[in-house]
Each structure stands twice: as C-alpha cells, then as structure tokens.
Amino acid sequence: MSILRKIMRKAITHPAKVAVIDDQREYTFFKIAAGALFAAKAIEQATQKDKIGIMLPTSGAFTVAFLGTWLAKKTPVPLNYLLSQDELAHVVADSGIDTIITAGKMIEAITGLGIDVEALPGDVKLMKLEDVSFKGLPPLRMPPKLADDDLAVLLYTSGTSGKPKGVMLSEKNIRTNIEDSMEHAGLTKCDTFLGVLPQFHTFGLTVLTLLPLFGGGRVVYTARFNPRKIMDLMREHRPQLFIGVPSMLGALLNVKSASPDDWKSLRYVICGGEPLPQAVYDGYKDKLGVEINEGYGLTETSPVTNWSTPENTRLHSVGLPLPSVQNFIVDDNDKLLGRDQEGEILISAPSVMQGYYQLPELTDKVILTLDVPDDPNIGSSGHRAKRGGPTRCFRTGDIGKIDKDGYLYITGRKKEMLIIGGENVFPREIEEVLNRHETVNASAVIGRADDSRGEVAIAFVELAEDAEFDEGALKTYCRDNMAPFKVPKEIRVLDELPRNPTGKILRRALSAD
C-alpha cells in the first residue's frame, strides 16, 4: 500500500488519535486527512503545473500541504527557506514550479533574511494556507494510486557546481526506507517522536514526518531549536525517539535543569548529519545515563542506510545496514575491499534515488553497477538484501570501513564537502560568491572542526590588483548572497593561493589552524 493511502486510511480507522503536535495546535489523523483534501482542491485551482513548491516551517501545516500535493496528483518540492535569493531562484526555475504553498508569517520571516519571494522567476504565485477554506466537509476523493516508480518528491541538495541539484525520490524509494527503518528499530504505533529538523531536509521529511504517520504513531514538532523548549516538550510528552544533529545534542547537554529523569522515556536518541564529538557522547552517558545512537544516510538514499540500535551498537559506528540495504567499500579503481579496509562507501538499496533531476551526466557519475561476489567478507548486508551478481550502487563520496561483524564506520570524506550544523556545503558554493566580489581575484574554502556546529567554513582570498582587504565587507557581501549557515567564520588574505603546475588551487595545502 502506498504511503498516501496508508496515512489516509488512518483517518478512517483512528480518526480521533492525535498524530501531530506543533507550536500552534494538535492535529488528529482525521484533521490531517481533511486538511490535505481541502489543500488538494486549492492546489488544483491554483496551477496546472505538475510540481508544487512548499515553503513552511516545521509543523503540521507542512504535513497537510505535502499530503495535499500528493492528493492533487502533483510532486511536492520542499523549499529550503535558509537559501539565498539566487539559490532559491535557481530551485524555482530548475524545478519549473509556478506556485509555492506558504504562510504569511513565513513570508515575513524570509523577507527578513533578504529574500523577496515575489521577485522569483516565472511570476511565481504564493498560495497562503491561511487563505484556504478549511470549513465544512472536505471534498472527498479517493487517494491516487501511486506506482512504485512514480516521482514522490523532488528534494534539492547542495551541489559541487555551486547550485542546488534536485534529487528524484520515488514512492518505492521512500516507502521501503520507512518500512526498513520501522523494522530495524522495532517502531510501533505507540511511539512518540520529538524533533526540530526542518521538513525540507531529507531526515525531517522521511523520519520525522512520513514515518510516524505511516506507522500510526505521534510526532511533536517545534519550528525553532531552543534547548529549554525542547526539554519542556520532553517532560510534557515523554517521547520514545528524539532525532537531532550533534550540535543540537551538545546544546541540550548544557541545559542546567536537565536531569536523567527527563530522558527516561526515550528508547532512542538518534544522531546523524555530522560527526559526533566524543565529549558529547561521554557527556550523555555520564550526566544523563543516555547512550546516543548514531545513524547514517543521505538525501540520495531517502535517507537512512544504517542505524545503531541499543541491542546492536559499536562505539563510533553508525551501525548495521537496514534490512534491504547493502554497504560496500571500494578503492579508487572501484575494486571491492574486504573487512577493516578503508575506501569509498557505496550503498545499494531500493531507497537509492532515481537520479538527479535533468542532470543525467551527473547521475551517471554517482550511480554504477558492480558485479558483487556472494562472499560474506565483501560488504555488509541487511537480511532482505539480495547477495551477489550485478548490483546498482550509489557513490556516497564518504570514506569508511566495515568491521568483521558488519558494522559501518565513517572515517572521512572523499568529496570536498563541509557539514555545517547538519547541512551539506560544498566549498565551491562559497567560492563562487566570493569570486564575484570586486576586490577578490580568487578564493579557496576549507573546513575547521567546531564544537557547536560540527564544522565551519574558513575562506582564503587572493586580492585583485590594488584592492584592499576588508574582512567585514566581504562577510557582509556573503550574508547578502548566500544562506547564513554558509557564511565563512573567518576570511583570511594571502598574497597568492597555492596552485599546482596547471594553475588549479590546492585546498589541501591550506590550513585552518
């Protein structure tokens, strides 16, 4: 059964059960379904396009808009409201949307960040949810029957080209990831989730939005990360799962009023998106009696591939693969490696994306077929994964190893990508903005470890002839032209950037110390 039909069915079998609690209100399964039906009608009246933008804070309203888009037989395109005007304009133009579902307060918030939604390309229309009539009986309709290969969502993620690229995830991609996650972690309809991850983010969408509804559980949202508020919600709702990134967990650890009893209801404190500092892991065990469970996944894998559970865990490991997932390690020549050998991590799973939207050449670079021997010492497989033979795999760009028991460890990154507060940022995204400034001849960006954000960007610039260095002015220019989390922590000036004989800038020759 498709994700949509299963969720809509809950409105009939459990109409009064509370499904979502956010900063504004509670939503029963019936209210979620009814709201989605009203939204679907409004969407059909607003546009004939096959894709719909959604720009809403983490909330039940996002859920209503997302399911309403599916009911209208259209593809949702969740929009990252932290992007710059130029980045957002690229997403709008690339996806071909002409309608964005939003809310008045959200428009006010992003206007404050320097984004003018009405100035986006293509005469984009704004469909404000507060203008949609949710009164009376909803216009009933049968949920459309989604085939396995139907495009379910288009999620935009950072790209090496400096522009976000659309990840095409099918109904089967997301559904199998939900089913795998529920089986792997033993999740039930009695579980309550608590989280603040944005729903335009792959983890926020699959794990904190669709999975709880699909399984018949409950999810508690708050739109902004406030450590004290999170602790208040923890005490009030007694959740079984909390999902966050290490920087969030570090901030929660510093809440003076937090006690072991506050965390007692939790079966899982799930961490992903960036490396977990040892100090944070130790702090939770020593101060709160909580063991953090690390996980791993990517937008391109819908997202979860590995998950460390209390019963199956290893220190610094992201756990065993989900039931339908296979992990492989290869060298620079794509030769399969054995246990405890470091190389690039490849993922094979039904949840691996269809490809990058309108980027077939880039898709071909990250999707490959390996001839895998039926050898238990090659890779690590969930119990439902097919072993041996031609296997479709995704190149993660991450470096890791698999131990003798099949646990995956992330040891580094092959691709030049930073992870800042759980968000993927490629150096070229920042460099392209800096290079447009009149005082900059060339730039290079590298990462530096940071206790609160996991990693921060450090930029080096080579000045144009006769130009003067003004770090403050360059930072202001960056804030005006990119998402706030991408703005370099520091900008340093060099007489000349290090280059190889062909003139290519060598980031690895730079040090952020």
Q: Supply the pLDDT for residue 419.
A: 87
pLDDT of 421-477, one tens digit each? Answer: 888 888 888 988 998 999 998 899 999 988 888 899 999 998 988 899 999 999 999
The pLDDT, as a whole number, for residue 108 is 87
The answer to whether the 1-146 and 418-509 domains have the same CATH topology is no
State yes or no: pLDDT of 389 exceeds 70.
yes
Query: Which residues does 209 contact at the CB level (< 8 Å), separation at least 6?
Result: 62, 63, 66, 199, 219
Pairing relationship of beta strands 293-297 and 304-307 according to DSSP bridges: antiparallel
Sign of CA dihedral 44, 149, 272, 295: positive
DSSP 58: S
Query: Tell me: the pLDDT tens digits for 297-330?
Result: 999 999 999 999 999 999 889 999 999 999 999 9
207 pLDDT more than 80: yes
Is 161's pLDDT higher than 80?
A: no
Contact 326, 348 (CB under 8 A): yes
pLDDT tens profile 331-385: 989 999 999 999 999 999 999 999 999 999 999 999 999 999 989 899 999 999 9
How many other CB atoms are found less than 10 A from the CB of residue 180? 24
Among candidate residues 82, 195, 89, 97, the one with its CA nearest the CA of residue 154:
97
**Is 1-146 assigned to CATH 3.30.930.10?**
no
Q: Determine the pLDDT at residue 109.
A: 84
d(CA 513, CA 325): 39
| pLDDT at position 293 | 95
Q: What is the pLDDT of residue 40?
A: 97
Distance from C-alpha of 68 to C-alpha of 73, rounded to nearest angstrom: 9
Per-residue pLDDT, averaged over 249-277, amounts to 90
In the chain, the amino acid numbered 395 is R
For the segment 120-139, what is each residue's pLDDT rounded down to a tens digit?
888 899 999 999 999 888 99
- Which residues fall within 8 angstroms of residue 364, CB to CB, at 6 or more apart? none
Evaluate whether the domain defined by 418-509 bears CATH number 3.20.20.150. Answer: no
pTM: 0.86
Which letter, b or e, does each residue of 252-289 get, where b requires 16 or more Cβ atoms within 10 Å of its Cβ?
bbeeeebeeebbebbbbbbbbbbbbbeebbebbeeebe
Contact (Cβ atoms closer than 8 angstroms) between residue 293 and residue 307: yes
- pLDDT confidence bin for 250, thresholds 50/70/90: confident
DSSP sequence for 110-129? HHHTT--GGGSTTTPEEEEG
**H-run or E-run covering 297:** strand 293-297
Listed by start position, the domains of the chain span: 1-146, 418-509
